[in-house]
Chains A and B, each alone.
Chain A
Amino acid sequence: MIRLGGVELQTPSPSRSDLPRALRALRGRLSTVLPGVYAWLTTVALPSVQHEARAGARLSAFFALLALLAAPLFIDERPRLGRALGIYSFVGCSLLTWALLGAGFVQSQGDPLLSALGAIAFTLYALGWGSLRRRDAVPEDAPNVIPGPPLRPRSRPQGSPPMVFGLISAAALVPICLAFRVVDPARALFGHAAATVGAIVSITVGARVAVSIGQRERLPPVAERLNAAAVPLALMALVFGLGFLWLVVR
């Protein structure tokens, strides 16, 4: 019973529904902890034990394990502390261990399969820290929801959108292929990075273009769209003009 401003509120008593909730929470913790323990064993603990590691590296590896195991205990009551332990402390202590192991860790002739499995376990651990929406939860009821038009249900695109997306995706591979023609190592590295980033951004924008073509009624009026693009288009024209001027002057 809680008294709030002279009004007595009946607090919900623990019921049988708490048991499945606890089981669900436990299952969520296991899906986080088990991959974490495996990742810790294969990529942090084994190198710390096998090599002539410093005491500091072993100590930080131990703290990483402590943080990993302590995080689930706090995640319900104090989620910030739980996440700080499970994510920042665990990953931070693992990184510190690797840094303290130094060249011995990099040059170790460990089992590559074990290392690959450890990397996969780290990925699963990271995914385990995510959370799925409850079945009866309504996303729009969340307190941090951004107001906007209601989302439309998914539908299979008809007509040109798949073709447009395919064309853009295929075209986005061209800069990546051209980057292999760059011979100079430093420029080749930059070229690959720029081509990859460009391809990712182009495919992302291309997907949005393709989807918007399929759902035209959701877009604002033409004048509004043109006005919005006026500044970057003008900037693009200016840069084009400057480039042309530079070409003429040179």
Chain B
Amino acid sequence: MSKVIDALSVLLVLGAISAFAVGVVALGERRDLVALYWLAIGGLVLRSAVELLRPRPSAR
């Protein structure tokens, strides 16, 4: 199961890069809202990948 989570985190990082790429392409096509949408998606996906790696310590 741990390997699946590791693979998922790699896929999430690659997905985030893809989202950034789509956002930049949309920016080139002057679709600003779509570009911002995909850039935000990329940020969220990267955040998910980070949390999968190092969860925050639980509050005591």
Instruction: Note all chain B residues with C-beta closer than 8 A to A123.
Output: none
Give the contacting residue for B24; candidates A175, A212, A243; CB below 8 A: A175
If the complex has contacts A194-B24, A195-B24, are A184 and B47 also in contact, measured as CB distance less than 8 A?
no
In the bound complex, do residue A191 and residue B46 qualify as a contact, i.e. CB atoms below 8 Å apart? no
Kindly report which residue of chain B lies nearest to residue A209, judged by CB atoms.
B9
Which residues of B from 3 to 45 have beta carbons under 8 Å from A?
5-6, 9-10, 13-14, 16-18, 20-21, 23-25, 27-28, 30, 32, 35, 37, 39-45
In the bound complex, do residue A236 and residue B27 qualify as a contact, i.e. CB atoms below 8 Å apart? no
Q: Please report the total number of B residues contacting A with Cβ < 8 Å.
A: 40
Distance in angstroms between the alpha carbons of A222 and B1 in the assembled complex: 7
Which residues of A from 206 to 250 have beta carbons under 8 Å from B?
206, 208-209, 212-213, 216, 219-220, 222, 224-229, 231-233, 235-236, 239-240, 243
In the bound complex, do residue B52 and residue A228 qualify as a contact, i.e. CB atoms below 8 Å apart? yes
Main secondary structure of the interface of B (DSSP, over half): helix
In the bound complex, do residue B24 and residue A182 qualify as a contact, i.e. CB atoms below 8 Å apart? yes
Distance to closest chain A CB from B22 (angstroms): 9
In the bound complex, do residue A209 and residue B30 qualify as a contact, i.e. CB atoms below 8 Å apart? no
Instruction: Note all chain B residues with C-beta closer than 8 A to A198.
Output: 16-17, 20, 39, 42
Kindly report which residue of chain A lies nearest to residue B33, judged by CB atoms.
A246
Distance in angstroms between the alpha carbons of A219 and B5 in the assembled complex: 11
In the bound complex, do residue A195 and residue B50 qualify as a contact, i.e. CB atoms below 8 Å apart? no
Which residues of A from 116 to 172 have beta carbons under 8 Å from B?
164, 167-168, 171-172
Distance to closest chain B CB from A177 (angstroms): 9
Distance in angstroms between the alpha carbons of A171 and B37 in the assembled complex: 20
**Could you list some 8 contacts between A and B, CB below 8 A?**
A168-B14, A174-B17, A187-B30, A198-B20, A198-B39, A202-B46, A212-B53, A225-B5
* 9 shortest interchain CB distances as A-B pairs: A228-B55, A198-B20, A229-B51, A182-B28, A232-B48, A236-B44, A175-B20, A232-B47, A229-B52
